[in-house]
Chain A
């Protein structure tokens, strides 16, 4: 990021709540990369989840304390006793060496904060180099790696909450999740999200290796997803080839709009609302920003994990946008700008340019529906 863009990003963020770059945040942003506001927030490191706090549009986003505790307990159990349970699992499922395991725990070795992140990034780089060169002293397990990544024009330190385990000469990314695996099945949505995160981690590792002039394919396409089995917290390891997800992540990165360009385009006149503003003032600033930058509201994805979703939904309602009803309705209304217009076309209004196809279908649907309601028969 150039100094000028850095300055613009900083001015854009102002005193608004910010977010530390992480693989999880990157994975989450990937599903909103077509939204200009999300891209801008990503570039300025603004935390959209906290923008609407205290307003009518505050989203109930965040982890339940019990769910958080379950995740913490499972991870602590795996890493306790010198990573004993984790090593047993890796030996059993991933042909880990029975002895002479070298573990690099970067998370506890370095202090928290930006300074610690920089030190961890430097150490991660050194360790990746050692692994790629096949050095004898290369570690078998890295916990808390930090990768310096250039994502969509932004250079940042990406903290991975996953592991890197070396098995069979290859580096595998391991994601620890606490949702249950029972009878050979688990929640497919959560499993997919875990694989997505692992894919971003793999991509960042490969890019880091490439930058150092080393072979990126030292990092395997196969991720290790570590889950508890059944009722308790006994771990199991699922090996999943996620080459397709890595390719998707790569494509997303290449095609995502460059946030630096967005910053340069919108920067000087805009700012995310500061934490100190009262809720209504914050909303006013946000509305101005959304008007200027624009959004891409998709309820089925935005309402799950974007803090602005409820505000965007209310704006979509006020503008009568078909997006309000989800992708299926949107697909059925090609060329129709608003739900109000769709209702007009259904009532027999003359179609405008590009509305012919939808107008015919709407008119026909309306006629049949009204006929059934009036006469009770088709």
Chain B
């Protein structure tokens, strides 16, 4: 319905009355460009805050390890300084897995243009995280440190509702309905055009023009051709030299080229974020932001611990199952919290027959019923809905104002001539709810969604044979993928 209306109105429509993602006062922005289909390299990277602007990092010829690492090292100094400084800021002590953890008050938030950028940062992190810092070609210790940060951030980004790293495309797509397909939603420029089209222009035409604007990180709009020409000229001029004195003076044309690309995306990304900032923040954002801060603090503590932030590159079946359980629990909680906070978010739940909303016409606060030979208090409310109720008798529902407490069960449903239903609900406890009871004359919403803790996953310590890999390479302890890089260097 909203897609049809958006098509008719010629602009995107809101799917939320609130903003369901935190936006820190000064997030750290990253805009990245990769080289063709090279998965583990960056051709250019702009990073910084909105107020301070971005610092541009261009290796020149990223297939050359020395050049790539030299540029990445400068980025590592910039990023690690900012990222780690937040942990040392004011905060609170909390108990985490039996130990004490300093949780900062500030959320170290990273803003990127799209989900692909998160993937690229994760891959760059994977490349750097296990670099040897000794031996024939020791890497600067800051590089594996950056790698371990990026790897963790990219992994944490999969947590539904997290706000540590925010992709502008996700931010817009989760708050606006356009008449675009899922595939097109990946374009930040097109999404932005739908949200705020030029006056008198249908968003479709604005988006069709805007999507030709390169956002990165993949060079998909022909910018790879120019980049290659510049890179060939750069390689010819440096004649195999990786001396910073020689390279820096030759980087000019490539820096100018990538500066133009990064600047466009940088502006677009902040424009989208700042426009969303104007919307009021949903109440549950604070809880999720606290979860993010705890996860961040635990990560920094792990980095400073004896293993210096090393994590498994391949999860064991047990760890994978536990992680999947965590993601599913976070997803359920996020969906529930957003719908409970925001009536527009609850609308699809209501239309799917998983919630009911209406006016309270009766509230029997002192009602009692006989349970196990005891006369127990079981308050009952009756409400009239505008939509017909198709739920089965006995179904458990949670009142949105007490979604973390006991459920109500559907006792009876009577259809009304107007098309709605009269529904009686009985609270399944004699304890007082924190929000009291629904008041006659007010509108109330009951849904399947609740914010109670999800079940805990208990798994055997050893994986059963069904979950043991047949492929022995799974157990390969070699995690440094850099040792496979000889061919690229030769090609350089």
Contacts and interface: CB of A to CB of B under 8 A. Distances in A.
Interface of A: 56, 60, 64-71, 73, 77, 178-180, 182-184, 228-234, 299-300, 303-304, 310, 313-314, 317, 320, 322, 324-329, 333, 339-340, 342-343, 346, 361-362, 364-369, 371-373, 375-378
Contacts of A180: 39-40
Contacts of B127: 231
Contacts, number: 172
Given A66-B224, A234-B484, A366-B1, A320 B37 contact: no
A230 B181 contact: no
B484 A364 contact: no
Nearest to B7: A339
B39 A368 contact: no
Most chain A beta-carbon neighbours within 10 Å: one of B4, B8, B350: B4
B4 A342 contact: yes
A73 B347 CA distance: 53
B282 interface: no
A66 B473 CA distance: 30
Interface bin, chain B: 35 or more
B228 A66 contact: yes
A304 B224 CA distance: 18
A154 B474 CA distance: 45
Given A73-B491, A340-B8, A346-B5, A65 B36 contact: yes
Interface stretch (B140-148, B214-222, B259-267, B325-333): B214-222
Interface string B31-67: 0000111111000000000000000000000000000
A328 B344 CA distance: 20
B357 interface: yes
A364 B356 CA distance: 13
Interface string B1-27: 111110110000000010000000000
A303 B208 CA distance: 12
Interface of B: 1-5, 7-8, 17, 35-40, 126-127, 179-184, 204, 208, 212, 218-222, 224-225, 227-228, 313-314, 343-344, 346-347, 350-351, 355, 357, 386-387, 443, 445, 471, 473-474, 481-488, 491
A377 B484 CA distance: 58
B442 to A, nearest CB: 9
Given A184-B473, A184-B474, A372-B347, A66 B38 contact: yes
B204 A368 contact: no
26 contacts: A60-B220, A64-B37, A65-B224, A65-B225, A66-B38, A66-B227, A67-B37, A67-B38, A182-B126, A183-B126, A230-B40, A232-B484, A233-B488, A234-B487, A299-B180, A324-B180, A325-B181, A339-B3, A339-B8, A342-B1, A343-B4, A343-B5, A365-B347, A369-B1, A378-B357, A378-B443
Question: What does DSSP make chain A's interface, helix, strand, loop or mixed?
Answer: helix
A340 B179 CA distance: 12
B36 A70 contact: yes
Given A178-B37, A179-B37, A378-B343, A299 B184 contact: yes
A183 B36 contact: no
A68 B228 CA distance: 12
A231 B1 contact: no
B254 to A, nearest CB: 13
Pick the 3 closest A-B CB pairs, nearest first.
A66-B36, A230-B481, A326-B181
A368 to B, nearest CB: 5
A184 B471 contact: yes
A183 B183 contact: no
A326 B7 contact: no
B282 to A, nearest CB: 14
A359 to B, nearest CB: 11
